[in-house]
Amino acid sequence: MLLSFQSILPLFLMIALGYVAKRTIFNINMLPGLNQFVYYLAVPALLFNAASKASIDNLINGPALAAFFLGAIVTAIIVVFGSRMFFKADSTEQLVLRALNGTFANYAYMGIPLTFAIFGNEAYAATVSIILAGNIFLIGGAQLLIESIRQKELGLRPILAILDRSLLRNPIFISTLLGLLFSANQVSMPAAIHTLLDMLAPAAIPVALFCLGASLQFAKTTIVLAELGWLVLIKLCIHPALTLAAFWLLDVEAPIWLATTVLLTALPTGALAHVVALKYDVFEKETSQIVVVTTVFSLLSVTLWMSWLQ
């Protein structure tokens, strides 16, 4: 356990550094620019470099992805049932957001740094596959559900619009696809472009974690402490445990996929859940607080999961 703690502590210290810098010397107006640098340049460079050395066949592991989906679905059902039974939540839209908070993790800003730093390039295929599946299935699914609730029916146009935002304008998807195309066709990059990507890629991990820390905001909301604790427990403990159980139930024999997927599902609630909450003006302040609290407590939970997985 000590070894696991020491291996991930620098990553959380970088998050803490971002938070402290925001409170002291960092101009918060610079944060959007840094976020865009990470999202549109550094992370895509990291993923393109990894994808250009991989095969698209490596990204498709049906049993492992089925285990990921099963774990997310069962977790969402538990969240909805518990929220209705214990916390009297009866708004369908709020139940969708609660389920999203309990299942969607911070795949990009924490998942990529953690899995690449701990498991190396061996975790690339599983990491990218889970990121894409999570964005499409969880973020896209939540939006489709809310759209269908509000419109009473769901047409082709809203579905295409959501898929467009989830994939065609997603730099994670685009950089991965381009990298795989270069790999499949054995295309060599010009030396100058290759050097540029090699300069950008290492910045993804530290800058992403710094931005995550700088974006944390601690504020009181109307969510009761018991429900906050319940959702934190769901996200950091129950969701990864159910994902692990799904791997065992489906008898998936892929150790790196199991370790990577369980670690990714053990991460705190991702910021995109807050983006969805803001877009639809549903459970917005509560989602913001869940993102912050799960991020803080994930230092302990991720350490425990890492200790067990290793």
C-beta of residue 261 within 8 angstroms of C-beta of residue 64 = yes
Can you read off the two tokens belonging to residue 95?
């139940």
pLDDT at res. 92: 92
C-beta of residue 100 within 8 angstroms of C-beta of residue 142 = yes
C-alpha closest to that of 106 among 211, 224, 33: 211
Q: How far apart are CA 150 and CA 19, in angstroms?
A: 37
* Torsion sign across C-alpha atoms 96, 165, 239, 4: negative
C-beta of residue 141 within 8 angstroms of C-beta of residue 76 = no
Can you read off the two tokens belonging to residue 37?
């640098």
Q: How far apart are CA 289 and CA 232, in angstroms?
A: 10
Can you read off the two tokens belonging to residue 259?
């370790």
Number of independent structural domains in the chain = 1
Q: Domain range holding 298?
A: 2-309
Q: How far apart are CA 304 and CA 298, in angstroms?
A: 9
Q: What are the helix (H) ranges across the chain?
A: 2-23, 31-37, 43-51, 62-87, 92-103, 112-119, 124-133, 141-151, 156-163, 171-184, 191-200, 204-215, 225-233, 239-249, 255-265, 271-280, 284-309
pLDDT at res. 212: 80
Count of beta carbons in the 10 Å neighbourhood of residue 25? 7
**pLDDT in tens for each of the 310 residues of the chain?**
555 667 778 878 888 899 999 999 998 888 888 888 988 898 889 888 877 877 777 778 999 999 999 999 999 999 999 999 998 888 999 999 999 999 999 987 788 888 887 888 788 889 988 988 888 889 888 888 887 787 765 667 777 776 676 667 778 788 888 888 888 888 888 899 999 999 998 888 888 888 888 887 776 767 788 999 999 999 999 999 999 999 999 999 899 999 999 999 999 998 878 878 888 889 888 888 898 899 889 988 888 888 887 6
Q: What does the DSSP 8-state code read for residue 188?
A: P
> What average pLDDT does the structure give for the chain?
86
C-beta of residue 295 within 8 angstroms of C-beta of residue 12 = no
For residue 32, give the CATH number of its domain.
1.20.1530.20
pLDDT, one tens digit per residue, over 139-158 is 888 888 887 787 765 667 77
* Torsion sign across C-alpha atoms 7, 299, 130, 206: negative
The angle at the Cα of 269, spanning 295 to 166, to the nearest 5 degrees, equals: 135
C-alpha closest to that of 79 among 227, 183, 201: 227
The angle at the Cα of 48, spanning 46 to 54, to the nearest 5 degrees, equals: 110
87-119: burial string, b at 16+ Cβ within 10 Å, e else: eebeeebebbbbbbbbbbbbbbbbbbbbbbebb
Count of beta carbons in the 10 Å neighbourhood of residue 161? 12
pLDDT at res. 32: 86
Placement of tokens 């369908």 in the chain? 92
Placement of tokens 């039974």 in the chain? 85
